[in-house]
Amino acid sequence: MTDCDKTNEQLIEALAEMGRRIAALEARQAACERTAKDGREREALLRFMLENIPVDFWARDSQGRCFLQSRVSRELWGSLTGTLGSEHVPAQTAAQWKANSQRVLRGEVVREEVQLVTADGRRRDFFNIVAPIVDGDSVQGCFGINLDVTERKQMEQALRESEERFRLAFRDGPVPMIIGDHEGRILQANLAMAHLSGYAEEEFAGRHVSEFSHPDDRELSAPLLEQLLRGEIPGFTLEKRYIRKDGQIVWAKATTAAAHDPQGKTTYALAVLEDITARKRAEAALCESEVKYRRLLENMPDFVVVVDLEARIRFANRPAPGTSVPELIGSTGFDHIVPEHRPACRAAFEKALATGEVQSVELLDVYGTWFSSRVVPLAIGEAGAGAMIISADVTQRRNAEAATQEKQRLLQQSLEVYEQHQQLAAYEIHDGVAQPLAGALMNLEASLRLLDAQRLDAARDGLAKTRQLLQDTIDQARRLMNGLRPPILDELGILPAIDQLVYEHQSAGAMAVDYTQSVGFTRLAPPLETALFRIVQEGLANAQRHSRSGKVRLALVQQGDRVRVEIEDGGVGFDPARVEQGRFGLKGIRERAQLFGGSATIQSAPGRGTRITVELPLVEAVPKATWDAT
């Protein structure tokens, strides 16, 4: 090997060594960078913990200076970093911190509840944990955590006070009470329960609650108690009998509720009792008295009810016509009276209660029975007071009076209808006969003057017009005489008369009449038949004269105790608000309807035809012998 080759090998070896050293340096630099990155991440994590963990924690060195403090710690004590802290917090807190630091520097771990005063002067309770920071064998400082337990301490105090109040209320309270376990065995009974039952307080412990119940009443509460202890119901209230130690029976109203743990399991039950023995004895005596009282009232011939101060029915000696006794009990008496009689009945009821005097009133109930009633006050101003109402059925007497009044009304109405018909006939004779005759007379006088003037042709024309006018007037007079009371109306009744009227209109060729009828009667009272005939007659005539329609619809319909007439055309129509006052047709229809206690509706508008609807109470024909008797 030449010197040159040796030199090259040495150079290559030197370069390789240099490469290894450079690689080692790069590896060391990468390790340093990783260490720096880890340090930065740990520092970022520490800062995150300091600012976001909601706990008061801190760290101090061996001299007592704070070098680490969380955000919560700063809020409670102010910023302590780099200080001993004694100059920032109250003296009591600074002294406590100093004592704990000395113990920790000796190697102890402090765990205790302390009360400290915060920087803003608030007194709070803390669970304080302080541990030493150890490097080898020496303590370099301490790390501490303060957990705020103020609310917990306050709740514990409130719970102690509440338990004390409950203990005092339970033991010394005036109401009998029992506490039992989840199996129904008594854990404790108070003094009031001992007084009610005759047992000493200590005699209750360990015994089942059913042992103190009356044997006949144990089955009343047993299923409810089982449901309560299983958590199926929150509580129950029951009136039952109990056996005292001396054998006497007492009545009590027991209200029982249960308490449960977070899992829903029953932990204990509390029963509160109310002694109702006196009330039960009074109820029994009252019941016995009421039995005697009820038997007396049930045998009275009149209908008797007893009501309270609100007029609610508490007793009825028999069912009222149209209802039963159970339906009456508990209902308000005024609800069984027709609305128009309630004010008078209420006034009599209130006056009887206010004055103590018996009041009388006649009334009609909603079931159609008339009563003559006396309102007798029972006990003015006392609890449970009210009135006894004694009612005699006077329906037959009232019906007889109403029948007599109805006959008198019909007679008076017949007279009024007769007078009205006379007036209506006068109007129609004036419009249909008198005025055309006056026109004929004027034409005749004009023709005579033409004759005197030797104007024969003109006079002949005038006389011809006069003759035609007279002929039309004669026809109109005949029509009027036939229309006032057509013979067919008396002989066959309203239905054939309307048929004849429709036939005459259609025969005249003026318009077609679509007539339908759905009624159950054959004859009506004569005044009603006349009114119906005249309404139909005037309605058809009105349509023929004014509608300019080729067809009119006529319907006669019975609806229960009323009869309805409908007349409708599809003609030119009119504005009902602008009808001339002198036109009697529509006015006559309305007046006839009103005379019979009915109604007339006229609906029309220009270009939309006219509809006349008349409803009248239906009064069927009375046999002639009956009219003769009245």
pLDDT of residue 407: 63
Note the pLDDT of residue 165: 78
pLDDT tens-digit readout, 455-474: 877 777 777 777 777 777 77
Instruction: Please state which of the ranges 61-65, 316-320, 326-330, 626-630 shows the lowest mean pLDDT.
Output: 626-630
pLDDT classification of 39: cutoffs 50, 70, 90: low
* Higher-confidence position of 446 and 156: 156
Query: What whole-number percentage of the chain has pLDDT above 70?
Result: 84
pLDDT band for position 307 (50/70/90)?
Answer: very high
Mean pLDDT computed over every residue of the chain? 82
How far is the C-alpha of 484 from the C-alpha of 190, rounded, in Å? 101
Tell me which of 1.10.3720.10, 3.30.450.20, 3.40.50.720, 1.10.10.350 is the CATH number of domain 155-280. Answer: 3.30.450.20
**Cβ atoms of residues 90 and 107 within 8 Å:** no
Q: Between the ranges 409-413, 432-436, 486-490, where is the mean pLDDT highest?
A: 486-490
- pLDDT at position 171 is 79
* CATH architecture assigned to 300-393: 2-Layer Sandwich (3.30)
CATH numeric code, 493-630: 3.30.565.10
The CATH code that applies to domain 53-148 is 3.30.450.20
| DSSP secondary structure letters along 523-548 | -B-HHHHHHHHHHHHHHHHHHHHHT-
Residues 224-271 have pLDDT tens digits of: 888 888 888 888 999 999 999 999 999 999 999 988 877 778 888 889
- The string of pLDDT tens digits covering residues 355-398 is 989 999 999 999 889 999 999 998 644 445 789 999 988 988 88
Range 129-150 average pLDDT? 87
Domains 53-148 and 155-280 share a fold: yes
Whether the model pTM is above 0.85? no
What pLDDT, on a 0 to 100 scale, did the predictor assign at position 481?
64
Name, in order, each residue with C-beta under 8 angstroms of 584's C-beta and a sequence gap of 6 or more.
424, 427, 428, 431
Q: What is the pLDDT of residues 565-620, one digit of tens each?
A: 999 988 888 887 776 554 556 777 887 788 788 888 889 888 888 999 999 998 87
Count of helix runs (H) and strand runs (E) in the chain: 17, 20
Neighbours of 514 (CB within 10 A): 11
Domains of the chain, residue spans: 1-44, 53-148, 155-280, 300-393, 395-484, 493-630
Question: Which whole-number Å values give the CA distances from 132 to 52, 60, 62, 136, 215, in the listed order?
Answer: 24, 10, 10, 12, 72
Query: With 90 as the cut, is the pLDDT of residue 334 above it?
Result: yes
pLDDT digits (tens, 9 = 90+) for 75-104: 888 888 888 877 777 888 888 888 888 888
**Displacement of CA 20 from its chain's centroid (Å):** 96
Q: What is the pLDDT of residue 414?
A: 54
- Cα separation, 144 vs 76, in Å, equals 14
pLDDT at 371: 92
